[in-house]
Amino acid sequence: MARAEESNSNSKITAFFFGATLFLWAASIAFEIAVNGRRQLTVLAVGFLFFQTANSVIRRFISKDPLLVNTSVSLLHSSLTSASVVFILVNQWIIKGPREMFSHEELVTGTWYGAYWALCFSCGYFAYDQLDMLLYRLYSGFIPAILLHHLILLVCFTLALYKDITINYLILSLVCELHSIFLHTRKVRRMAGLRDVNNPLVQLEWVLNWANFFITRLLSHILITYKLIIDAHKFDEGIELPLALFGMAGMNFLNVFLGLDLFKAFKRERKQQKHQD
């Protein structure tokens, strides 16, 4: 009984903290748009409303299960963001080539075509998702990794959007959304009842899941961190470098735990299949 009460108390503290930070974030965005005239930030609101609308449509016509609805919207975000990031990168590769494209000045002070809008739109999603998880308690633990992940992204993305700096670095960090597609696909697949690990489609999904985890998430974030470190002397004095390193340190830290969770899930599915056989 005491343990249950303690757990409930911790859950309330968690919800209050992340809810309060989300409210402060929203107030900051509203202030920038209304008072400072940063109309370009309205794309944040558009992103939030778009994914909230998708949530409502799925909830009404497909399922009322909060987890399935949330995961389906997350899959939509990962797909749209991945497509936009790939378009931005391929477009810049063709126009400028890798040498200029990945130069320090280009990554820090430049803004690739569509990058600002894509970042705003994705930021709107993270705000929506944070709110949805808080409303339906789609998290566990005193400091849920997913809520912490979203908070780090909201802080880093929003400050970059305010200062209009390191936008391209953040677009590179979103390459990991390619991996998120397979994370969300797996969850939807399991909720749909498709759990046979001997199924060729399930096996292909796991291959793509692991490949994208190591390449588009783990490796890409390590390379971004490495680039920040070797170019550290090129940054002007200010918050940009510390914030970027803090953000990437947080992402790399969370990636390790995500990899461990993914490995546990893989072993669990294999074990369940053996018992069924």
Q: If you search the block for the tokens 């690739």, which residue do you land on?
A: 112
Q: What is the pLDDT along the chain (277 residues), one digit of tens a residue?
A: 444 455 566 788 999 999 999 999 999 999 999 999 999 999 999 999 999 999 999 999 999 999 999 999 999 999 999 999 999 999 999 999 999 999 999 999 999 999 999 999 999 999 999 999 999 999 988 889 899 999 999 999 999 999 999 999 999 999 999 999 999 999 999 998 888 888 899 999 999 999 999 999 999 999 999 999 999 999 988 888 998 999 899 999 999 999 999 999 999 988 877 666 5
pLDDT at residue 2, as a whole number? 46
Supply the pLDDT for residue 116: 97
Residue 276 is predicted with a pLDDT of: 65
- Domain carrying residue 141: 2-276
This prediction's pTM: 0.93
- Tell me what pLDDT residue 277 has: 58
CB 127 within 8 A of CB 44: yes
Into how many domains does the chain fold?
Answer: 1
Separation in Å, CA 136 to CA 12, 193, 275? 13, 22, 33
Residue 168: closest CA among 251, 243, 85, 87: 85
CB 105 within 8 A of CB 39: no
Q: Give the pLDDT of residue 143.
A: 85
SS (H, E, C) the chain: CHHHHHHHHHHHHHHHHHHHHHHHHHHHHHHHHHCCCCHHHHHHHHHHHHHHHHHHHHHHHCCCCHHHHHHHHHHHHHHHHHHHHHHHHHHHHHHHHHHHHCCHHHHHCCCCCCHHHHHHHHHHHHHHHHHHHHHHCCCCCCCCHHHHHHHHHHHHHHHHHHHCCCHHHHHHHHHHHHHHHHHHHHHHHHHCCCCCCCCHHHHHHHHHHHHHHHHHHHHHHHHHHHHHHHCHHHCCCCCHHHHHHHHHHHHHHHHHHHHHHHHHHHHHHHHHHHHHC
- Work out the number of other CB atoms within 10 angstroms of the CB of residue 35: 8
CB 170, CB 157: distance < 8 Å: yes
Residue-wise pLDDT tens digits, 142-166 = 889 899 999 999 999 999 999 999 9
Question: How many Cβ atoms are within 10 Å of 4's Cβ, its own excluded?
Answer: 8
Rounded distance, CA 149 to CA 177, Å? Answer: 13
